[in-house]
Amino acid sequence: MSTKKKVSDLPPANPAPIFFLSMDPERTQRIIKALQSLTTPMVDKTQLLQAIQALDAEVASPQSGLPADLDHYLRRRSYEKALVYLQGGKPGAGTCGRGQ
């Protein structure tokens, strides 16, 4: 008897967070790209400004349509927390106490 498992028996390597099911994939990638550019070493000022403007545009309307936690992080410019959230992690609590 073989102990080898079939690929279909194995859990996914990196399961997508549940909110990805309700978010537009293009919008999600646009936000992730902007957040990642903010964490890139030696990014020039123009790219930095464009990334911040793009993220501000995502939450410009009172009803952004984003998951509540992501909307909160982007509005408060907690960009590291937003990136952790989008990557399926659990951001730590900030001064407002949200996140844990």
**pLDDT (tens digit, 9 = 90+) per residue, 22-40?**
678 999 999 999 999 998 8
Distance CA 39, CA 43 (A): 8
DSSP string, 11-40: PPSSPPPGGGGTS-HHHHHHHHHHHHHHTS
7 occurs within a structural domain: no
92 occurs within a structural domain: no
Domain of residue 28 covers 24-86
29 occurs within a structural domain: yes
95 occurs within a structural domain: no
Torsion angles phi and psi, residue 14, rounded to 5: -145, 85
56-87 confidence digits (pLDDT tens): 999 998 888 999 999 999 999 999 999 999 98
61 occurs within a structural domain: yes
35 occurs within a structural domain: yes
100 occurs within a structural domain: no
Count the domains in the chain: 1
